[in-house]
Amino acid sequence: MTSILHLDASARPGLAGKDEHGSHSRNLSQRFVSQWRARRPQDPITYRDIGQTPPSIISHDWIASSFTPEARREPWMRDTLAESDRLVDELIAADVLVIGTPLYNFGMPAALKAWIDQVVRPGRTVDIDESNLLDPYIPRLADRPRHLVILTARGGIGFDAGGEMAHMNHLEPNLITALGFIGITRVHQIAIEGQEFGGELLAASVAQALDKVDALVGELQHSLQAERAAEPA
């Protein structure tokens, strides 16, 4: 089986095309998951709506607890890290991480940044080799292939790589850097653009993105099946 972790980060709770002011990024992520489930209903899917229930922002206590070796942690430190441990456990269990997120002010929503800060953890998702000053970081989630699917919606146009606004897009590059740092390096990206313009431009972008989502589901399922078939018995 393939385990999926599905996150939605939009502040909008509804789906575009169904609810007033609905979310286009949620529409993409829901399409991905529904298409996946239709073809592979046996695969477990864990869902977190971090847009509506954001993770806690890290604090001084969190930092002190996280950087204290486990054997030396006091009970209050374990309590402080309990939420982070749950989020990390979900991420470690996932073979495919699906993130539906809007582009807010050229970057990720605060809720998604809070989630990133909770899961990039020394001793859990990354190790630090203090003897190697040139390259001290060891990604712990590189132990097996994991895929990252970023499904995003943007108000403007031209934010894709090579576009006129690409230099102002700090959403996908930030996610790819942070998650690659802990070992998730197989990245797939699909975006809707033109929310601020609407009309035919937005409609065409939505239709194209939905088609890409459907195709990506098939490609991922096929590649994951092929990877497992190639594993030694």
Neighbours of 73 (CB within 10 A): 16
Q: What is the pLDDT of residue 203?
A: 94
Please state, in angstroms and rounded to a whole number, the distance separating the CA atoms of residues 6 and 72: 34
Residue 230 has pLDDT above 80, yes or no: no
pLDDT-derived band at 227, boundaries 50, 70, 90: confident
Residue 205 has pLDDT above 90, yes or no: yes
Establish whether 56 is an annotated binding residue: no
- Report which of residues 227 and 26 the model is more confident about: 26
**Burial class of residue 58, CB neighbours in 10 A (0-12, 13-18, 19+):** middle
**Burial class of residue 5, CB neighbours in 10 A (0-12, 13-18, 19+):** buried
Establish whether 222 is an annotated binding residue: no
The DSSP annotation for 33-101 comes to: HHHHHHH-TTS-EEEEETTTSPPPPP-HHHHHHHTS-GGG--HHHHHHTHHHHHHHHHHHH-SEEEEEE
8: part of which helix (H) or strand (E)? strand 4-8
Residue 100 has pLDDT above 80, yes or no: yes
Q: What is the pLDDT of residue 231?
A: 73
Q: Distances from the Cα of 7 to the Cαs of 35, 65, 98, 116, in angstroms?
A: 16, 26, 6, 12
Please state, in angstroms and rounded to a whole number, the distance separating the CA atoms of residues 27 and 132: 44
Q: What is the pLDDT of residue 126?
A: 97
Establish whether 84 is an annotated binding residue: no
pLDDT-derived band at 233, boundaries 50, 70, 90: low
Please state, in angstroms and rounded to a whole number, the distance separating the CA atoms of residues 152 and 136: 32
Please state, in angstroms and rounded to a whole number, the distance separating the CA atoms of residues 198 and 206: 10
Query: Phi/psi at 164 (nearest 5 deg)?
Result: -65, -25
Give the distance from CA 55 to its chain's centroid: 14
Q: What is the pLDDT of residue 173?
A: 97
Q: What is the mean pLDDT of residues 7-32?
A: 92
Establish whether 131 is an annotated binding residue: no
Q: What is the pLDDT of residue 130?
A: 85
Pairing of strands 126-128, 137-139: antiparallel
**Mean pLDDT over the full length of the chain:** 95
Q: What is the largest CA-CA distance in the chain?
A: 60
Determine the straight-line distance between the first and last CA of the chain, rounded to whole angstroms. Answer: 16
Residue 22 has pLDDT above 90, yes or no: no
Q: What is the pLDDT of residue 163?
A: 94
Q: What is the pLDDT of residue 74?
A: 97
Q: What is the mean pLDDT of residues 125-142?
A: 92
- Can you list the positions of beta strands (E) in 117-214? 126-128, 137-139, 147-153, 186-192
Q: What is the mean pLDDT of residues 73-79?
A: 97
Q: Which domains does the chain have, with CATH numbers?
A: 4-230 (3.40.50.360)
Question: Which tokens in the block code for residue 215?
Answer: 């195709």
Which residues face 39 on adjacent strands?
Answer: none
In the chain, what percentage of residues exceed pLDDT 90?
A: 86
Q: What is the DSSP letter of 122?
A: B
Encode pLDDT of 155-191 as tens digits: 999 999 999 999 999 999 999 999 999 999 999 999 9
